[in-house]
Structures are given as structure tokens and as C-alpha cells.
């Protein structure tokens, strides 16, 4: 009896002819609809976008939310002939959840003027493929201008993730590049040369040497200097790498120099190849200013093969508004990791100069380091007004596999940049051993001075 029932059911289904070259498909009664239950779609063929929204209480958002899905997939503000049921069945985005918070059930109080929702929409991965421009266009696009709508997360299927290489080096590769074995891994120290821009090559070369010989594992350009007429990329690489060799001969420790090659295209790629030819050992890119896919192209270029530090410039324009844009843990976490950042500058939420909630800082760090398909982890680099005082908090929140970034906190040390770097290394060593900084400062002059400079009284013991 079962077989005849199935045959009868099949007869009732609508059989539609697709455009030439595609097989006919059988449309179910809901296949072309712009909404579905989460259990009714294949999670491995869809990108799941999660949004925060807020609307006047008079609007029925359960009924209106499919407009968002249609606008961002197959349709427009008015029906058009080409948007056939067959096209919708294959390519329409579907609302799979509308969750109000608080969830009013029988009435909306008079004093409520605006109702808040979490909306989830499933986008066919076939509309996007493995590229960030179409991912953002599909999942944010026009609706970013539609009022209080903020994209707060993207869940991507494995097939789409497999289209991204991600970080070439990742956390483990950075330690290998520095010659630090797993048994001796500790938080890395990164120094930004200050002033940010305007200085001649000889000043930068001197500051590089002092920071490196003092113990900085990585020295980076500030994001405000790139290939300038007064101080060129290739000139800096050649001069700084001579200092890197000198520091290694003196200390036995290598230093990565992340030179900022941010520029117009295709010049940025010409600069990257010139850095390789000049003996450079790392790159830096203001990835949002040039576009994440530009950084991705660098990471996937086999002829470049250098670690990439991604800088967060312009990120606030994406995430700072609480009701608009994109969440920080997407723009500072998942997207740069997809596009190959081996390390990423993130605002430090525990005492730094950038306003950033601790919970967002933690979410961002997880997006950089937790399992994410087969992508290697990206090393978080908390930065922005960090001094040795902040080292224990950074390690407590993120663990040892981090890169601590400091500019003025090193160069402003009363005894100079080398002493400022030593103060940080002393703070890192003490923190890894579980020794309070005030205790460590009794035996470390540079740390004692640094803590005193930043507001912590210590008593350095001269012996």
C-alpha cells in the first residue's frame, strides 16, 4: 500500500521546467517560500545570518521579515517575471527564525514604542560562494540602509569554509618563524615604532634596534606609515633587517618586522614582492582599508609566503553603532581569519585606550582562535595604550598564545626604548611564572620604573 500512496503524492507535486541545461525539479509546496523552519533547510548548503533589529511596535515583523530575505536574494521591491518559483526554490533566502526579546504573547504594553528582535535568515551558499564581497553583499547589502538592522553573526557551512585557505602560518607558524620551540612558548611582544609617521629612516632604524635588542619579538610599522616619499618600504626593510641580524647575533633572538605595505592596487602586491626580494620576513596590511580580499590574495600568493599582521583601521565604522553595521567579532574575528591574517590587532578592553567591552573582546578572541572549519588560528594582538601593568590581564583573558602590542608604553620609558622593551619582557616572564608584577619589580629595575611611571608604586631592591 505504501508505494501507491507515494505515487499519488508525486502526482500532486508541481513539476516545473527549468531553463535549458538544468534538470527539471519537483517543487514542494514551500520550496519557493522565503521562510522555513531551521530543521527544514540543509545547514550545509546555507549561510545562516543572524541580525539584531528594532521596529515600531505597530509593525508585524513576523509577516514583514521575508521582505529582507527576498531583497537580499532573488527579488526586489516589486515582483518581476524572471523571479519564477523555480528560481526562488534554488536561490531565495529564507527566514528561519524571528525571536522577540522580550517575547510579548498576548499584548504589547502601552509604554513600549519599539519592539526588538533577533532574526535569522538562511542564504543559499550558491548565491555567495567562497568570497567575502558577495558574503557581505548578500547578508548585509541593501538592508544595511533599512533602519535598525545589525548583522551580528554568520554561520558558514564547511563546503564554503573549505574555499578559504585562511592563515598560512597561524599561531604555530609565528612561533616557528621566531625560532621559539613549543616548550618555551610565551606571550610575544610587539612594538609599534613611534612617532606614528613623519620620521626619517635613520630614526626608525635606531628605534627598531633598541626595541628588538630590548626583547621585542615583533616590530611593526604604525598603520599611518606605508610606502612614503620620505621613508620608503624597501628602504626600511633593508635597513631594519640589518638590525635584525645584529640583534640576533647579540641576543640569539629573532625579530619579525611587519612592514606596512598598505597601498593602492596593484602596487600593494608589487611592494610585497619587493619586500621578499629585499629580505623582509613579515608584512602588515590595513586590511579593511584595502579590502579583506586583497589581504587574502597576499596570503594565498605562493611567491610571497610571509606572515601577515592585519591591522584594524576603520573597524569602528563597521561595528561601533549598537543598532547598525556588523558585530566586532565578525569584522575583527571571522572575516580577517578567513582572509589569511596570521595575527590581528584588536582593541584591548582591559585598560587600553580604545573603548571596547570585555565580552566583545572575548568573543572576538574566540573567533580568531577556536576551531573554525580547518582554518589555522589567528594570533590575537591586544593593543592600544598598553603598558606592562596590563600584561597579567591580557594573559588571564587570552592565555599565553598572544602577541602583546605596545608603542608609547615602550618608547616612553625614562631610560629609553630598549629599557621599555625589557620592562615588558620582565612583566611577561613574571606573569607566566605566576609572580605578581610588584614582586617582580623588586628585582627588575626597568619594570619597577615602568610601573612607577604608569601609577604603581614599587620598591626596587638594588641588592
Question: Which pLDDT tens digits describe the chain residue by residue (463 residues)?
Answer: 344 443 333 333 333 333 334 445 688 889 999 999 999 999 999 999 999 999 999 999 999 999 999 999 998 778 888 889 999 999 999 999 999 999 999 999 999 999 999 999 999 999 999 999 999 999 999 999 999 999 999 999 999 999 999 999 999 999 999 999 999 999 999 999 999 999 999 999 999 999 999 999 999 999 999 999 999 999 999 999 999 999 999 999 999 999 999 999 999 999 999 999 999 999 999 999 999 999 999 999 999 999 999 999 999 999 999 999 999 999 999 999 999 999 999 999 988 788 899 999 999 999 999 999 999 999 999 999 999 999 999 999 999 999 999 999 999 999 999 999 999 999 999 999 999 999 999 999 999 999 998 776 566 554 4
Q: What is the pTM of this model?
A: 0.91
Q: Which of 258, 210, 186, 256 is nearest to 420 (CA)?
A: 210
40, three cell numbers: 527544514
What's the domain range around 247?
170-453
Co-location of 410 and 335 in the same domain = yes
272, three cell numbers: 610585497
CB 190, CB 421: distance < 8 Å: no
Phi–psi pair at 208, nearest 5 degrees: -60, -50
Phi–psi pair at 51, nearest 5 degrees: -125, 145
Number of domains in the chain: 2
Question: Is residue 14 situated within a structural domain?
Answer: no
In 223-342 the beta strands, taken as DSSP E runs, fall at: 256-260, 282-286, 308-311, 325-326
Q: Which of 390, 396, 382 is nearest to 451 (CA)?
A: 390
Co-location of 255 and 356 in the same domain = yes
Return the active site residues: 194, 311
Of the candidates 161, 183, 204, which is a domain's last residue? 161
Rama region for 314: left / alpha / beta (φ>0; ψ in -120 to 50; rest): left
Question: Is residue 4 situated within a structural domain?
Answer: no
CATH number at residue 106: 3.30.70.150
CATH number at residue 254: 3.20.20.110
CA distance 9 to 3: 10
CB 244, CB 280: distance < 8 Å: no
216-253 burial code (b ≥16 CB/10 A, e <16): bbbbbbbbebbbeeebebebbbbbbbebbeebeeeeeb
Amino acid at each position: 500500500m505504501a508505494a501507491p500512496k507515494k505515487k499519488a503524492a508525486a502526482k500532486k507535486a508541481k513539476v516545473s521546467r527549468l531553463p535549458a541545461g538544468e534538470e527539471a525539479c519537483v517543487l514542494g509546496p514551500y520550496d519557493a517560500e522565503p521562510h522555513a523552519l531551521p530543521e527544514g533547510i540543509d545547514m550545509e548548503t546555507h549561510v545562516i545570518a543572524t541580525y539584531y533589529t528594532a521596529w515600531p511596535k505597530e509593525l508585524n515583523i513576523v509577516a514583514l521579515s521575508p521582505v529582507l530575505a527576498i531583497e537580499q536574494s532573488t527579488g526586489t521591491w516589486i515582483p518581476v517575471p524572471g523571479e519564477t518559483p523555480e528560481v526562488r526554490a534554488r536561490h531565495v533566502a529564507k527566514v528561519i527564525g524571528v525571536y522577540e526579546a522580550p517575547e510579548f504573547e498576548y499584548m504589547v504594553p502601552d509604554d513600549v514604542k519599539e519592539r526588538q528582535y533577533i532574526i535569522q535568515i538562511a542564504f543559499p551558499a550558491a548565491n555567495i560562494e567562497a568570497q567575502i564581497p558577495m558574503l557581505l553583499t548578500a547578508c548585509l547589502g541593501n538592508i544595511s540602509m533599512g533602519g535598525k538592522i545589525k548583522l551580528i553573526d554568520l554561520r558558514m557551512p564547511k563546503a564554503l569554509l573549505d574555499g578559504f585557505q585562511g592563515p598560512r602560518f597561524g599561531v604555530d607558524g609565528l612561533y616557528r618563524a621566531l625560532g621559539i620551540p613549543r616548550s618555551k612558548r610565551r606571550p610575544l611582544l610587539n612594538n609599534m615604532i613611534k612617532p606614528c609617521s613623519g620620521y626619517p629612516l635613520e630614526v626608525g632604524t635606531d628605534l627598531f634596534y633598541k626595541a628588538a635588542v630590548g626583547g621585542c619579538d615583533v616590530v611593526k610599522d604604525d598603520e599611518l606609515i606605508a610606502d612614503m616619499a620620505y621613508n620608503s618600504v624597501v628602504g626600511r626593510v633593508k635597513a631594519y633587517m640589518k638590525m635584525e641580524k645584529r640583534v640576533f647575533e647579540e641576543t640569539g633572538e629573532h625579530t619579525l618586522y611587519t612592514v606596512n605595505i598598505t597601498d593602492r592596487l596593484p602596487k600593494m602586491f608589487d611592494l610585497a614582492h619587493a619586500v621578499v626580494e629585499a629580505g623582509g620576513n613579515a608584512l602588515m596590511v590595513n586590511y579593511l582599508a584595502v579590502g579583506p580580499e586583497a589581504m587574502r590574495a597576499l596570503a594565498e600568493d605562493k611567491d610571497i609566503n610571509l606572515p601577515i599582521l592585519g591591522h584594524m583601521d576603520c573597524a569602528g565604522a563597521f561595528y561601533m553603532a549598537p543598532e547598525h553595521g556588523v558585530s566586532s567579532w565578525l569584522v575583527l574575528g571571522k572575516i580577517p581569519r578567513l582572509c589569511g591574517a596570521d595575527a590581528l590587532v584588536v582593541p584591548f578592553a582591559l585598560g587600553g585606550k580604545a573603548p571596547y567591552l570585555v565580552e566583545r573582546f572575548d568573543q572576538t578572541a574566540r573567533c580568531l582562535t577556536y576551531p573554525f572549519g580547518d582554518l589555522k588560528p589567528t594570533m590575537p594582538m591586544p593593543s592600544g595604550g598598553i603598558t606592562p601593568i596590563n600584561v597579567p590581564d591580557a594573559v588571564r583573558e587570552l592565555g599565553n598564545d598572544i602577541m602583546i602590542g605596545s608603542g608609547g608604553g615602550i618608547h616612553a620609558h625614562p631610560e629609553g626604548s630598549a629599557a621599555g622593551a625589557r620592562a615588558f619582557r620582565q612583566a611577561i616572564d613574571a606573569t607566566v611564572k605566576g609572580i605578581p608584577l610588584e614582586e617582580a619589580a623588586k628585582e627588575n629595575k626597568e619594570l619597577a620604573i615602568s610601573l612607577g611611571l604608569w601609577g604603581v608604586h614599587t620598591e626596587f631592591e638594588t641588592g
